[in-house]
Amino acid sequence: MLTAGALALPTGIVVNGWVVVDGERVLATGTGPPPERPSWSLPGLVVPGFVDVHVHGGGGASFDGGRPESVATVVRTHLAHGTTTMVASLVTDSLDGLAASCASLAALADDGLVAGIHLEGPWLSPARAGAHEPSLIVDPTASAVSRLVEASGGHLRMVTIAPERPGALAAIDRLVAAGVVVAVGHTDATYDETRAALQAGATAGTHLFNAMPPLHHRQPGPAAALLESAAYLELVVDGVHVHPAVLALAWRTGRTALVTDAMAAAGAADGEYTLGSLSVVVRDGEARLASTGAIAASTATLASSLRFVTSMAGVPLPDALAAVTSTPAAMLGLEAVGSLAPGAWADLVELSDDLEVNRVMRRGAWVPLS
Ligand SMILES: [Zn+2]
Ligand SMILES: [Zn+2]
């Protein structure tokens, strides 16, 4: 039994809330006097653990390659910042390299360390490659799609695809049939090509506005097609990727999920890093490709993103919380996470008044924060 100064329930934020944890799960929640003596009395705001559906690394390590020690480092780093559910995002690599990474990550997903795999490449537009190695970008052939779905052993959760690539619509069909969420991104597609992808079953947009043509009044492009659709929209909000005014525009859809798109330097020092096979220089927390200066992922955490949208973009706290918990969980159909409902995993975060992370519980156990 824990009591909280305030508690974010699926119905809204209540004062003087309580949560009963039974083993790894939430047994009950409520407000007012607790039914029994609490084991912990937390003065702050207790919220569901954060859900990051697009993240590459942190703590100096990354998911690429799927090495167990590296994956554990990434997970531990973001966990200390309140992220209790993470999908492992892979940047473009050779098909052999991706298949090996997927197989290794699938074993770690079986153990519950990560909630699944997100392939951000290799089926992207070379014109919008961003921090993906352009020479490794290929068409989504039926055999390549089948190979990576199979290598992931049922843990492939999301694929980012550029719908203008030959074979993309058939690939979307195949991926959706395999239970994979398809996100439009790293694309040079037109408005019509994006609409065709949405009709074929794509239900999300990868870091909306970044790595796609800008919204233009005569060439509305992917951004307009995604905004007007029912798709979930990822936003990277680190003060670098998207201007707060544009963020506020996307926010009106009510379907925005904050993602970190973080690379190895999240929760680590400035310096030189790699993202896939590319060199990245991080200065003042801003990650750029050494070769072209393009934005190369972020060094954000979901906790820092939450603080940014509430303080810099004027987003009300309940809406901002949804964008780091229930909305990303719904986007990928992740069960038992993203809300403090009876039966959910006992994943929760205590936040201070200025939204700093005080305590983190994952699956009923308190997590060391350093
Ligand atoms: Zn990207
Ligand atoms: Zn990414």
User: Residue 277 Cα, ligand 1 centroid: separation in angstroms?
Assistant: 14
Q: Decide: 199 and 137 in contact? Cβ < 8 Å.
A: no
Spell out the residues 6+ positions from residue 243 whose beta carbon is closer than 8 angstroms to its own: none
Residue 38: helix, strand or coil by DSSP?
coil
261 is catalytic: yes
Distance CA 128, CA 221 (A): 13
Separation of alpha carbons 357 and 307, rounded Å: 11
Amino acid 5: pLDDT? 98
The 10 Å Cβ neighbour count of residue 245 is 8
* Residue 255: both structure tokens together: 């379907």
Q: Which residues on neighbouring strands pair with residue 40, listed in sequence order?
A: 2
**Ligand showing the shortest atom-to-Cα distance for residue 261:** 2
| Residue whose pair of structure tokens reads 């089948």 in the numeric block | 146
Q: If you measure from the C-alpha of residue 189 to the centroid of ligand 2, how many angstroms do you get, rounded to a whole number?
A: 18
d(CA 223, CA 216): 9
Q: What is the pLDDT of residue 238?
A: 86
What residues are paired with 158 via a beta bridge? 118, 181
DSSP H helices in 155-216: 168-177, 191-200
Could you say which ligand is closest to the alpha carbon of residue 63? 2
For 96, the 3-state DSSP assignment is: helix
Q: Does residue 135 contact residue 175 with C-beta atoms inside 8 Å?
A: no
CA of 42 to the centre of ligand 1 (A): 38
What is the per-residue pLDDT for 369?
85
Sequence-ordered list of residues with C-beta below 8 angstroms from that of 64, at least 6 positions apart, any chain:
56, 57, 90, 91, 93, 101, 275, 276
Q: Which residues surround ligand 2, an ion (CB under 5 A)?
A: 120, 261
Ligand 1 mean position, distance from CA 27 (Å): 38
CA 140 to chain centre: 23
- What is the whole-number distance in angstroms between the Cα of residue 297 and the centre of ligand 1? 7
Among the bound ligands, name the one nearest to the CA of residue 275: 2
For residue 224, what are the contacts with CB-CB under 8 A and spacing of at least 6? 191, 215
pTM of the full structure: 0.97
CB of 329 closer than 8 Å to CB of 338: yes
Longest CA–CA separation in the chain, Å: 63
The rounded distance, in Å, linking the Cα atoms of 151 and 102 is 6
Pair 92, 100: CB distance under 8 Å: no
* Helices of type H across the chain: 68-79, 95-110, 142-151, 168-177, 191-200, 221-228, 244-251, 302-312, 317-324, 326-332
Which ligand has an atom closest to residue 89 CA? Answer: 2
Q: How far apart are alpha carbons 161 and 185 in whole angstroms?
A: 6
Per-residue b or e along 175-204, where b marks 16 or more CB atoms closer than 10 Å to that residue's CB: bbeeebbbbbbbbbbbbebbbbbbebbbbb
| Length of the chain (residues) | 370
40 CA from centroid of ligand 1 (Å): 40
Return the ligand number nearest the Cα of 211. Answer: 1
- Identify the active-site residue in 52, 64, 261, 347: 261
Separation between Cα atoms, residue 64 and residue 70, nearest integer Å: 9
Q: How far is CA 23 from CA 19, 51, 286, in A?
A: 13, 21, 40
Q: Compute the distance from residue 17 Cα to the ligand 1 centre, in Å.
A: 39
- Give distance in angstroms: CA of 166 to centre of ligand 2: 22
Instruction: Note the Cα 249 to chain centre separation in Å.
Output: 20
Q: Per-residue pLDDT for the chain (370 aa), expressed as one digit of tens each?
A: 999 999 999 999 999 999 999 999 999 999 999 999 999 999 999 999 999 999 999 999 999 999 999 999 999 999 999 999 999 999 999 999 999 999 999 999 999 999 999 999 999 999 999 999 999 999 999 999 999 999 999 999 999 999 999 999 999 999 999 999 999 999 999 999 999 999 999 999 999 999 999 999 999 999 999 999 999 999 999 888 899 999 999 999 999 999 999 999 999 999 999 999 899 999 999 999 999 999 988 999 999 999 999 998 899 999 999 999 999 999 999 999 999 999 999 999 999 999 999 999 999 999 988 7
First to last CA, the chain: 25
- The whole-angstrom separation of Cα 24 and Cα 344 is 9
C-alpha of residue 145 to centroid of ligand 1, in Å: 19
